[in-house]
A and B are shown apart, each in its own frame.
Chain A
């Protein structure tokens, strides 16, 4: 019961934040359209069914033709994941290293004072 209540609280907060974000976004979009910063929603013209099918066939053919190899995919995935991990590592090092140095120097000065 306790867990269900907590889950509901989290989902409620999630819903509230999501609702606020969507409201803010639609408000900003309406404002931008009325001011003339962006165009309104585009009216899509219907494409004849036969052409649509042909386009779909073309794209599926292209997809199967230009399918990259598994090795290439893995290499790219490792590189881009490495990039993300690197960004996080830089942040971690830039915070943890100065903090631990400051802690060490504080400890050293405390030991010196205590020694005297």
Chain B
């Protein structure tokens, strides 16, 4: 592998990691609308669309590759992963749509106000809980990648920095 290609792969992995961390943090904040206030909850949730778009764009090649090979020969875990990702996408869409339907801040601010019953509200709660479970399964299936990438790009550089500082301090 040439050094330029290697650099590209490294930077893509790094951006993948940071986008995923950001999505995870925003997800945790938005999961508690009562505490993060409705305004923050709604606008942050809407901004998640951008996060999800970036996540999908970064993993685009994998999605296309597996979609092509899905009916052919494919490993069991990859197949499960692919189905799980689709479920997560559908449930995420349901979460987003039901959120837009019951929106009290963002949609009225954009001039849209849907007068609907509390069915969508129940659907919103249900889909949020399902997303939590699906995200847990998604994390579990990618656990090895998460651990190795966090070690390589966060833990090891931080440890290296600490020990280098200590060495410099010891020499001085």
Residues of A bordering B, CB below 8 Å:
3, 6-7, 10-11, 13-14, 17-18, 21-22, 25, 29, 41-42, 73, 76-77, 80-81, 84-85, 87-92, 94-96
Contacts and interface: CB of A to CB of B under 8 A. Distances in A.
A97 B133 CA distance: 17
A9 B79 CA distance: 22
Nearest to A28: B119
Nearest to A80: B32
B60 A6 contact: yes
A77 B29 CA distance: 9
Contact of B140 (A3, A42, A92): A92
A115 B44 CA distance: 57
A25 B133 CA distance: 23
B93 interface: yes
B35 A76 contact: yes
B36 A7 contact: no
B143 A96 contact: yes
Contacts of A73: 35
Q: Is the interface of A mostly helix, strand, loop or mixed?
A: helix
B159 interface: no
Interface of B: 28, 31-32, 35-36, 53, 56-57, 60, 89-90, 93-94, 96-97, 117, 119-120, 123, 132-133, 135-137, 139-141, 143
A93 to B, nearest CB: 8
Given A42-B117, A84-B31, A88-B139, 15 more contacts: A6-B57, A10-B57, A21-B94, A25-B120, A73-B35, A77-B32, A77-B36, A85-B28, A87-B133, A88-B135, A88-B136, A92-B140, A95-B140, A95-B143, A96-B143
